[in-house]
Amino acid sequence: MKNILFFSEVKLSPALIAKCTLLEKNMNIYVYEGNKGDFYQNKELQDRYKYLTLDEIKRLKDFTVYVYGIRILIEKFFLLYSLKRKNRIVLEVADLPLRYGKIKNFLYYIIFNFLIFILSDRIVLTSEYFKKYLVKKPVYVFENLPSEESIKKFLSIKSNVLEKSDKINIGYIGGLRYFEQLTLLIRYACNHKDVNIHLYGEEINEKTKGKTKQILKEEIQKYGDNNNVFQHGRFNYEREIKNIYESLNLIYSVYDEKQLNVRLALPNKLYESILSKKIILVAENTKLCKEVEEYNIGYGLPSNLSDYERFEKKLSNILEDVYFFDYSKIKVQKILDKIKIQKDGLENFLVGE
């Protein structure tokens, strides 16, 4: 059996774990997780896969080294450069480091592409829309797909039949970081008592810990308190994600469309929403919005706080119509076919000639 090392600057995400699960049938899985971020705990993985130290990694030969994270390319540049002589380096591009001003974006673009050119043999993209911004390398598109186990969980979720008297439950799931877009949702809740807002997750960056609570406090002071915003904190993805989705009517995945990366990325919420048949709300003018419309799974919303009035009006119209949403038009089989095609070709891309 061939060997693959998942070399990540942070704890493995559910999407990375799904790749491990997919490949473990025919490959030996090894893992290195950096000490940045602890949103995912992954304690059970240490009994399942072999974890390597940096000293052990230095001696690797004839491995596929699957690299995740932009910072790790810089911090472990010389290690990766030395590994490249006796191993195949595959870089996953899950995000583009393009989200600041034009000058910074240009500098980051040059540096990032230089690192890709020097360090990687092949690239895995989580969004096909990233391709035009990267240097030419062999590319495989493998989106943020759930594991087979998670797919079964999402498919088993039954759509909630809403009555006019029911409060609508809108949920944000994942690391809290797009605070302007969270403010839009919290402000809406302060002005509309017919919805409940559920936030599952916590701030990713240590510097922003507690920022969501502060936003909630400030919005309540300005607009009043309907006691309808609930912060649930960190959760265990594998154990709790099904129950979380079952408890919600709509998924809020509105990010900052001013960032090029956001306009191009396809987050895992897209696939989770389609499989569970949960309406998803995303930022308009993004590739994600285009996909959402293609699969008949949700709606686009303004993502700038300065555009709150239009956000409020559009969301109110959506919520008025949600009782009549036609779930039968969601293209679940189309996404299942896409998942199968991408999963069938991944192993050959990673280790084939």
State the pLDDT at residue 37. 56
State the pLDDT at residue 121. 97
Overall average pLDDT of the 47-75 stretch: 93
State the pLDDT at residue 36. 62
Overall average pLDDT of the 88-98 stretch: 93
From the list 48, 36, 39, the residue with the least C-alpha distance to 14 is 39
Distance CA 6, CA 89 (A): 10
Most confident of 37-41, 105-109, 279-283: 279-283
Give the pLDDT confidence of 169-179 residue by residue, as tens digits. 999 999 999 99
Distance CA 80, CA 73 (A): 8
DSSP string, 150-161: HHHHHHTPPPP-
Q: Residue 351: how many CB atoms within 10 A of its CB?
A: 17
Structure confidence at residue 39 as a pLDDT band (50, 70, 90): low
CB of 329 closer than 8 Å to CB of 297: no
Predicted model pTM: 0.92
Distance CA 9, CA 77 (A): 12
Q: Which CATH architecture has domain 2-142?
A: 3-Layer(aba) Sandwich (3.40)
Q: Is the pLDDT at 116 greater than 80, yes or no?
A: yes
Distance CA 112, CA 130 (A): 13
Distance CA 336, CA 190 (A): 38
Q: Which CATH architecture has domain 149-331?
A: 3-Layer(aba) Sandwich (3.40)
CB of 167 closer than 8 Å to CB of 255: no
List the chain domain ranges. 2-142, 149-331
Identical fold between 2-142 and 149-331:
yes
